Amino acid sequence: MNSRKVVYLFFTSLLIGSISGAIVGLALDWSVYTAEGAMNFLFGLIWLLGISAAFSIISQMGFFAYLTVHRLGLGLFKTAKLWNKVQVVVIAFVIFDLIYLRYLAFAQEGETVFHYVLMPVLLLIYGLIVAYFKAKDTNQGAFIPALFFIVVVTTIEWVPALTVNDPKWLWIYFAPLLAANTWQLLILHRLTGNQAK
């Protein structure tokens, strides 16, 4: 992978993350951004694009960190099969923690643990879909690493918003992370020309 491809990956991920975060931010607070005229909308849009760009850069750092961790995991566990089993266990722990720990930290009177199930389950389903397409484009060995990246790495990157637990910020932070992570994962093998990625 040459420097031109790295630059392409960086800027396309930045653009996709920025636009997706801005769209979600506008959708969540449309009346706020349109209430006081065109200048308010313009400055609000610029702010959303900027904050979403920052989140997409976090996504890119997570992506390259995962590529390093993946190689270390393959070396440490000697076989991809064993490393995949470890990743499946970590995925299960992360989904459980997204449900139960958020319930312990933020549950209000009358809420049950089931109020905290929807978001992690949707993330898992989305991860399964993305992993399916990654494996279809490359090979079956890419399925578990792709699922791990979408579920676990995205969750780690999402932690600052999760600790605040403000629904608006959960989604404004989550949209650029998920969009940029998906893009990076699905474009990498095309940039490197390596179907085994």
pLDDT in tens, 9-40: 999 999 999 999 999 999 998 888 888 888 88
Give me the DSSP letters along 145-162. Answer: HHHHIIIIIHHHHHHHHH
Name the pTM for this structure.
0.91
Q: What pLDDT is stored for residue 11 in this prediction?
A: 96
pLDDT in tens, 64-97: 999 999 999 999 998 889 999 999 999 999 999 9
- Unique residue bearing structure tokens 């920052």: 54
Please tell me the distance from the alpha carbon of residue 175 to that of residue 18, in angstroms, as a whole number: 9
Q: What pLDDT is stored for residue 129 in this prediction?
A: 97
Q: What pLDDT is stored for residue 99 in this prediction?
A: 93
Please tell me the distance from the alpha carbon of residue 177 to that of residue 75, in angstroms, as a whole number: 28
pLDDT surpassing 60 at residue 196: no
- Average pLDDT of the residues of the chain: 91
Please tell me the distance from the alpha carbon of residue 44 to that of residue 163, in angstroms, as a whole number: 24
pLDDT in tens, 118-129: 999 999 999 999
Mean pLDDT in residue range 41-62:
94
pLDDT surpassing 70 at residue 194: no
pLDDT, greater one: 1 or 194: 1
Which band of pLDDT confidence, cut at 50, 70 and 90, is reported for residue 197?
Answer: very low
Please tell me the distance from the alpha carbon of residue 51 to that of residue 21, in angstroms, as a whole number: 8
At 3, list the tokens: 């420097």
Size of the chain, expressed as the number of residues it contains: 197
